[in-house]
Structure 1
Amino acid sequence: MNTAIPAAKARTGVSGLDTILAGGLSAGHVFLLEGNPGAGKTTIALQFLIEGARLGERGLYITLSETESELRAGAASHGMVIDGNIEVFEVVPPESLLDADQQQSLLYSSDLELGETTREIFAAFERVKPSRVVLDSLSEIRLLAQSSLRYRRQILALKHYFARQGATVLLLDDLTSDVLDKTVHSVVHGVIHLEELTPGYGSERRRLRIMKYRGQAFRGGYHDFTIQTGGLVVFPRLVASEHRTSYSRDNVSSDIAELDLLLGGGLESGSSTLILGPAGTGKSTFSFQFLAAAIGRGEKAAAFVFDEELGLLFGRLKALGMDLEAMVDAGLVHIEQVDAAELSPGEFAHRVRDCVDKSGAKTVIIDSINGYQAAMPDENSLILHMHELLQYLNRQGTNTFLTVAQHGLVGDMKAPVDVTYLADTVILLRYFEAAGRVRRAVSVIKKRTGFHEDTIREYRIEASGLTFGGPLIGFQGVLRGVPEFVSDTTSLMSRDSGDGGNS
């Protein structure tokens, strides 16, 4: 019986990319790294060679389009140093081909240049004897070849030569000469495609996908990445099914008896809760009430805030008896101000996962989905991202609280994106008018994990926090915002103290 021996892998040195590639690039093979100028090809190539040098492998960077000084300057901007086991070989046209008096008339200059270029590449390889090679870029070879047939033969010649030497090779293609030409795709062992997207507002978004990898399973689909000082950082697409843990399914209290009653005794651990309502109804206050209760139980928590400035949030919650800033200073809560214009959804999911993995947070707040949607205008993709993120958090035993601001204040209100079916519990907040005052009401309209009250309760936001009244039995139509009086107003809360307009 033959036992397959796993192929050796050449690690790329790019954070996250080796995870997508199931360990790295198969050693001794030729790979294509393609993308438009500025997508990050050169940075990946440099990280690939520097990782090899760190492991004691010789590296050779063959550049046909960029000068050695430009390459070294670009590396220096990332804090990378090209020396030691890495050699840069700059291919320049022979001097005779630059001299008009010595140009051949019977042969095309492209024939001479292509042959000379190939010989120089092979000579450099024989001199350096590298284990890792980068050839930058194929666009120059494609232009010299002039025809598709000669170009394919040239690529095959390069592939077979490097294969005989056992080198792992990255061919870079900037897609400037012929975007539709897939000649190299059929020849190489694997293809990594980089894309740069420019949204209507905010910084550029970059993503990559593995288009081909012979004889190797890999993580498909698009993966967001950023170019930071130090190199590329890739955020592998989150697959929740890969992250299963065991935990006790206990009831989680809000520390407010009336709210727990409304929820049928509390929330089950490892579940997600959506708090839905118009602006100013107290969605953030509800979610941070659960966070404060979690801290009181001795647990860790995290909050990712899209919409509100953190200083304002700290001050507002402190006025309600929740000293969030002190919790952060004590290391009990991790909180981040998220700028939707500068952050891709993949990076956001990575931050949430990294926080939960490192801190063991059992309560996570995402405030709000409106801000998260701004990072991903495509609603269908947003739903898929949210599904995987919530499934991952649920499987870690984490309670997740999402807020969504609906359009409008009373009457028929719409949410910018419908995620109610994703959440295990949905809490609906509403304004309503009664006895000449604007009041607030709360109801639980969904709970997958057990019983919940079907009543509607009035609540107030006071200096002591959230306070709740009994079921509003004297009205109907409260959820529409304009209730009808049906019996008496004894179920309304007294107005002994005022409330604030917190959201």
Structure 2
Amino acid sequence: MIEKVSTGIEGLDQLTDGGFLRGSAYIIQGPPGAGKTILANQFCYTHVRAGGRALYMTLLAESSARMLAYVSQMSFYESSVVPGSLQYLSAYGVLEREGLPGLLKLVQHELKRHRATAMVLDGTFVAQSVASEQEFRAFIHALQGVAGMSDAVLVMLTHQNRSASCPEHTMVDGWIELSDETQGFRAYRTIQVRKHRGAAVLHGKHHFRITQDGIAVFPRPESLIRDLPAPVARTHRVGSGHAGLDALLGGGLPAGSATLLVGPSGAGKTTIGMHFLSLASEQEPALMLGFYETPAHLRYRARSLGLDLERPFQTGALEQVWLPPSENLADEVIQDIVQRARAMGARRVFVDGMVAIRDSLVVADRLPYVINALSIQLEQLGATMLYTTEIPELRLDETLMPTDELSAMVENILLVNTGRRGVNLHRSLSVVKLRDSDFDPRTHEFHIGDRGLMLGPDPRVGTRRDSN
């Protein structure tokens, strides 16, 4: 087996099935500002911290000192390894004077002199510009041979947008492409493993960010579930936090299932979610992802409804993640929720606002697959999921939403609706679908008071006169 070397980026290691292969050559391609230099430096510093030795050779006119001035602002930078385990070297002058033959000799000499197990060649497009196509092809072929003989990982950076049929892409072992894209007013970055010999890569485009910690890659969640084992069958029920609702559900929600609460604004979806969270305990930790309710406001609402969320918050049995709707990346949000659920051993997960996740997707049609992937990963952790999504007020002759979309996302569907009779607002609850279970199919009126959700008509409405 060929040894794999971490790229220094957890998400990129996932895309490449474990990282780079020792003795192999890779091209990382992308426009200026896409993050190539940060990625390469992050790889080098991670490599030397793991006990390796790295060489960073640049063909650009920019000095190593100037580049280091920027790199030193990143959290992965470590001054103690430079110039010991990590060497920076400019080959710009050698390339000008001696061309590609002189550059190849320099690469061979420096790899041997520094006993490097990883090398970055920054500015490969400069080498291509001083030679013919045939000479450049021979140079790339020779570089790959040098990487193999040295048993080192060779990473070449270029900003040229060359086609997949170009000789350098056919000869190297791997090709990774970074892109800086826009949709409307929104800008986002993507990464794609176009080629990687001997590895089961995660194909397609994936989002990434550049932060103070370097590059963070977020594999598309629907691409991560292909190798997950089948979930463990669970036959018990999980309480909703409300005895009356549990009775309608035949004893509660099927354990490990995903339930969608559908209804218009103000129908009571978040209130039902708070009932679900109120059963959080040391044995059943709960996690909430919300986009509209701040933690302080959620606690205030819970107190006004007679629900105790203070205690589980204080003991750590309940955790809330609040993400104001903005330019979030859905894949990043999903990854964060799964990691948090795993860390705390969550058994209940409440996601209040599927619409916000949909709006954070560049391609909105991915929503059913993203939610399905999230549910599968959480089910693997032993959690039962509750989601909410907002729709306009429904009338009897209107349909909910396409059945195939709902079936792809969740196993259970609860519909909460609002309607008016005269001046009075009435709320109703219906169990539309429940996984492998019998349930009460009737529509039940309910109201919200100082004890939360209560089934039956609101007694206060009877004191008001309808103006029909």
Whether TM-score is above 0.5 comes out as yes
The one of 235, 239, 243 equivalent to 2:218 is 235
The one of 114, 120, 123 equivalent to 1:137 is 123
**Equivalent residue for 1:50?**
45
CA distance in 1, matches of 2:241, 2:96: 84
CA 442–54 in structure 1, closer or farther in 2 if over 3 Å, else same: same
> Is the contact made by 2:393 and 2:418 (CA closer than 8 Å) also made in structure 1?
no
CA distance in 2, matches of 1:37, 1:181: 22
CA distance in 1, matches of 2:238, 2:271: 17
CA distance in 2, matches of 1:153, 1:75: 33
CA 234–351 in structure 1, closer or farther in 2 if over 3 Å, else same: same
1:451 aligned to 2:438? Answer: yes
> Is the contact made by 1:406 and 1:413 (CA closer than 8 Å) also made in structure 2?
no
1:434 aligned to 2:434? Answer: no
Q: Which amino acid aligns with 2:93?
A: P
> Is the contact made by 2:24 and 2:152 (CA closer than 8 Å) also made in structure 1?
yes
**Equivalent residue for 1:310?**
295
CA distance in 1, matches of 2:276, 2:328: 27
Q: Deviations over 1:330-377 (max 9, x none)?
A: 201111112443431221121121112111111111111111111114
**Equivalent residue for 1:292?**
278
Unaligned runs of 5+ in 2: none
CA 222–340 in structure 1, closer or farther in 2 if over 3 Å, else same: farther
**Equivalent residue for 2:65?**
69
**Equivalent residue for 2:174?**
190
The CA deviation at 1:256 is 2.5
CA distance in 2, matches of 1:42, 1:155: 20
The one of 409, 416, 425 equivalent to 2:412 is 425
The one of 193, 196, 199 equivalent to 1:216 is 199
CA 85–94 in structure 1, closer or farther in 2 if over 3 Å, else same: closer
Secondary structure (helix, strand or coil) at the match of 2:382 reads: coil
The one of 235, 248, 259 equivalent to 2:245 is 259
The CA deviation at 1:138 is 1.5
The CA deviation at 1:71 is 1.9
**Equivalent residue for 2:78?**
81
**Equivalent residue for 1:466?**
453
Q: Deviations over 1:128-172 (max 9, x none)?
A: 332211000211112112x43232122112222332232210111
Q: How does 1:33-432 map to 2 (within 5 A)?
A: 33-65=28-60, 66-79=62-75, 80-81=77-78, 83=82, 84-93=84-93, 113-145=99-131, 147-175=132-160, 178=162, 182-201=166-185, 204-238=187-221, 239-240=224-225, 241-246=227-232, 248-293=234-279, 295=280, 298-408=283-393, 419-421=405-407, 422-432=409-419
Q: Which amino acid aligns with 1:192?
A: I
> Is the contact made by 1:249 and 1:270 (CA closer than 8 Å) also made in structure 2?
no
**Equivalent residue for 1:495?**
460
The CA deviation at 1:461 is 0.7
CA distance in 1, matches of 2:282, 2:151: 58
CA distance in 2, matches of 1:254, 1:94: 71
Q: Which amino acid aligns with 1:321?
A: G
> Is the contact made by 1:271 and 1:397 (CA closer than 8 Å) also made in structure 2?
no
CA distance in 2, matches of 1:53, 1:17: 18
CA 296–129 in structure 1, closer or farther in 2 if over 3 Å, else same: closer
> Is the contact made by 2:208 and 2:217 (CA closer than 8 Å) also made in structure 1?
yes
> Is the contact made by 1:31 and 1:170 (CA closer than 8 Å) also made in structure 2?
yes
CA 127–252 in structure 1, closer or farther in 2 if over 3 Å, else same: closer
Q: How does 1:2-13 map to 2 (within 5 A)?
A: 6-13=1-8
Q: Which amino acid aligns with 2:91?
A: V
Secondary structure (helix, strand or coil) at the match of 1:420 reads: helix
The CA deviation at 1:432 is 2.1
> Is the contact made by 1:236 and 1:346 (CA closer than 8 Å) also made in structure 2?
yes
Report the count of equivalent residues.
454
Larger radius of gyration: 1
Q: Deviations over 1:229-262 (max 9, x none)?
A: 2222223343335154536431122242321222
Secondary structure (helix, strand or coil) at the match of 1:494 reads: coil
**Equivalent residue for 1:108?**
none
The CA deviation at 1:223 is 3.2
The CA deviation at 1:126 is 4.4
The CA deviation at 1:326 is 4.1
Q: Which amino acid aligns with 1:286?
A: I
CA 56–272 in structure 1, closer or farther in 2 if over 3 Å, else same: closer
The CA deviation at 1:265 is 2.1
The CA deviation at 1:423 is 1.5
Q: Which amino acid aligns with 2:338?
A: R
Secondary structure (helix, strand or coil) at the match of 1:169 reads: strand
CA distance in 2, matches of 1:53, 1:413: 62
CA 139–276 in structure 1, closer or farther in 2 if over 3 Å, else same: same
CA 497–377 in structure 1, closer or farther in 2 if over 3 Å, else same: farther
CA distance in 1, matches of 2:252, 2:51: 57
CA distance in 2, matches of 1:11, 1:345: 25
